Structure 1
Amino acid sequence: MAPTTRFGGPNQNTNYDLRWEKAANFNAGVDFELFGSKLSGSLNYYIRTNRDLLGNYNVSNPPNIQGQTFANVGTMRNTGFELQLNASVLRKGDFTYDLGFTGAYNNNKFVSFSNALFQGQKYIDVVGMPAPGSPGTMQRLQEDTRIGSFYALKSAGVNDQGALLVYNKKGEVIPGNQATNDDKQFVGNGLPKFTMGLSNNFKYKKWDLSVFLRGAFGYKLFNTYAFYLGTPATQENANVLKSAYDGGKYSKLTSPTTYSTLSDYFLEPGGFLKIDNVTLSYTQPVQTKFLQSVRIYATSRNLATFTKFTGGDPDLIQVNGLYPGVNKNSDNNGTLDYYPSTTQLLLGVQLTF
């Protein structure tokens, strides 16, 4: 890669050794059928190692023009189980009920920032949060640590003056505005440990009903909207969220001294269960020369979401990639951009010729 220039000078180091990232996968599994094929499925164990991950790595300056070089260095490993089940739950007269389940448990580790050529740092503080104030970064990508690890101050509640209290590195309770970066610690993770999908298919004579549920569990989300717009001390003369005055935890932060202090006070459970798709249909056979059947159906998508997260639909916050669990822009920095999820209702007719 040749360096690009800006105002007559190069703004990045040359690296002619850039290449595609590599992946090595190991899978072991078993397929099974039980109870006369009424229950079938598969169980798989996997190890997925990604090498030569692209990123910016610290280098000496000089001889390099810039202090960082974009290179293939990082290594990341995922291990886990994947389960798939199909069950014929009920057969009684004209009524049938079939169930399908898929689930995955994942354990992740960022292995290394270094290789034979580049000796990278042990960690990188990432996901810088924007103004107002100077919040700093929200996550730390560190060797031998799960990606998506939130690295911030640990909250100790709110004092009588409405200021945020936190723990320092000695375990003492101090006001948030007196804390330093040395007081930060790992306070949660934005990568789901378990994901699942559940399909339910019911049939009675000419009627069909399918209900598909989807969920993710075991992770945290940073409530960006509450942090910037959800407390009484957020901004003067600005519109704020209802949470600033609803008597909840965010309405207690009335002091402006700590409104831009990043802490796990704004981390919430991100787990959710969503009624993702519901379809009801009626099929009428037709005995004509050109038409075999007519199917009338109604489908609802994103019908309901059950979650403890108060910052909108948790399914809209990215939980893949290197920096999961917080709203980001294209530069992987925090952002307030948000587009609400919608519920769709579709009506249709399907003709079979």
Structure 2
Amino acid sequence: MENKGIEFQVNVAAIDQKDFKWNTSINYSTNKNKLLSLSDKNFQLAAGYFDAGTTEEPIQQALARIQIGQPIGNFWGFKSVDIDENGYWIIEGKDGAAKPIAQQQADDKQIIGNGLPKHYLNFNNSLSYKNFDLNVTMRGAFGFQVLNSPRMFYAAPVMLTRGNLLTSAYDNIYGKRPLADDQSLNYLSYYIEDGDYWKIDNVTIGYSIPLKKVAIKGLRVYASGSNLVTFTKYTGVDPEVGVSGLTPGFDNRDRYPATTTFTLGASFTF
């Protein structure tokens, strides 16, 4: 595998006065990978690719294709382009023409997204004014897609006989009508969403109380909040999904979401 990218960080003392200080840092990284070979003198893979991951029961299709000349993380499935008047999917065939999903062929599948972010950005700020201090940490990832597995399973009326549904299960698809409930669940590009996000990851505010005349020289009290706000167009719970292994960008329907936490504390200087 070949990886090419850059990373840089800029640290700035924006304000450095006696009572007021502001330090800020920006970190940016980007990486592009390409699979060069799946064979060596001991092992030959004639096909030039293999499929990885699974959408789980009852769909049970491979998630990604690992292919020579392509990056890791490519989602591999049918590209949905419409639904017909009866609520059945219409997909794009290998020749680029639209066709009913009932006429699908294995070679109609194509790359429908990639789960590896192309860009990462971190923006950190530390401010202090006399005895007050404020720290704000923000970060984001951009240029990638997420397979919204909960939506794929639970936002289709097909699942009515298998358990609970999301309230969006009977929403119109492509502005037409709800999906027909007598077809199989399908792994389609319709459920691949842009995963770009920007998070206010942590905000901490503190106040230092000098206590030089007692055994404790200093006391700092603080309040902190983590995972406060996420800005994204992703319709799932959290676009920050796993990006390791061969199937990055898969939002597993059993994944426990990240939590928002608030902390009150105090630190002592002796």
Name the TM tier (shorter chain).
over 0.9
C-alpha distance 272-308 of structure 1, shift in aligned 2 (>3 A)? same
1:318 equivalent among 242, 253, 257: 242
Matched-pair contact (CA < 8 Å) for 2:22–2:128: yes
Name the structure with the higher strand share. 1
Which of residues 196, 201, 204 is equivalent to 1:276?
201
How far is 1:137 from its partner?
1.1
- Deviating more after overlay: 341-350 vs 120-129: 120-129
In 2, Cα distance between the equivalents of 1:232 and 1:93? Answer: 64
Matched residue type, 1:131: E
Give CA-to-partner distance per residue, 1:222-265, whole Å, 9 cap, x none.
01001110122333263111221455769944213554222111
- The answer on whether the counterparts of 1:166 and 1:174 sit within 8 Å (CA) in structure 2 is yes
1:95 counterpart letter in structure 2: F
Instruction: Name the structure 2 match of 1:122.
Output: 48
Asked if the contact 2:156–2:185 (Cα under 8 Å) also holds between the matched residues in 1, the reply is: no
User: What residue number does 2:261 align with?
Assistant: 344
8 A Cα contact 1:136 1:262, kept in partner: yes
In 1, are the aligned partners of 2:134 and 2:206 still within 8 Å (CA)?
A: yes
Name structure 2 gaps, 5 residues minimum.
none
In structure 1, list runs of 5 or more residues that go unmatched: 1-75, 328-334
Please state how far the C-alpha of 1:88 moved relative to its aligned partner.
Answer: 1.9
User: 1:163, 1:257 within 8 Å by CA — same for their partners in 2?
Assistant: no
Q: 1:113 to 1:198 in 2, by over 3 A?
A: same
Q: 1:250 to 1:263 in 2, by over 3 A?
A: farther
> Which amino acid is 2:197 matched to?
F
**From 144, 152, 158, the counterpart of 1:233:** 158
Partner residue, 2:22 = 97
The Cα of 1:286 is off from its aligned counterpart by 1.2
Greater C-alpha Rg: 1
Equivalent position to 1:150, from 55, 58, 75: 75
What is the Cα deviation at residue 321 of structure 1?
2.0
Paired residue type of 1:337 = D
Q: Which has the higher contact order (CA 8 A, sep 6+)?
A: 2
The two structures, once aligned, show a CA RMSD in angstroms of: 2.0
Count how many residue pairs are aligned between Structure 1 and Structure 2: 269
Given candidates 104, 107, 112, the residue that maps to 2:32 is 107
Instruction: Write out aligned runs for 1:34-183 (5 A).
Output: 76-91=1-16, 94-120=19-45, 121-132=47-58, 134-183=59-108
Do 1:110 and 1:145's aligned partners in 2 also have CA atoms closer than 8 Å? yes
Given candidates 191, 194, 197, the residue that maps to 2:119 is 194
Matched residue, 1:18:
none
One-letter identity of the residue aligned with 2:245: G
TM-score (normalizing by structure 1): 0.72
How far off is 1:89 after superposition? Answer: 2.1
Larger mean Cα displacement after TM superposition, 286-295 or 296-305: 286-295
Counterparts of residues 320-335 of structure 1 (less than 5 Å): 320-327=244-251, 335=252
- 1:17-63 Cα shifts (integer Å, max 9, x gaps): xxxxxxxxxxxxxxxxxxxxxxxxxxxxxxxxxxxxxxxxxxxxxxx
Contact 1:243/1:250 (CA < 8 Å) preserved in 2? no
Q: Which amino acid aligns with 1:122?
A: G
**In 2, Cα distance between equivalents of 1:201 and 1:251:** 51
Percent same amino acid at aligned positions?
A: 36
- Report deviation, 1:91: 4.2
SS at match of 1:339: coil
Question: Whole-Å Cα distance in 2 between the matches of residues 250 and 118 of structure 1?
Answer: 50
Distance 1:79 1:258, change over 3 A: farther
What secondary structure sits across from 2:243 in the alignment? coil
Asked if the contact 1:176/1:261 (under 8 Å) is kept, the reply is: no
Q: Which amino acid in structure 2 is aligned with residue 319 of structure 1?
A: V
Distance 1:83 1:325, change over 3 A: same
Against the structure 1 CA distance between its residues 225 and 251, is the aligned structure 2 distance closer, same or farther, given a 3 Å change threshold?
A: farther
Q: Describe the SS at the equivalent of 2:168.
A: helix
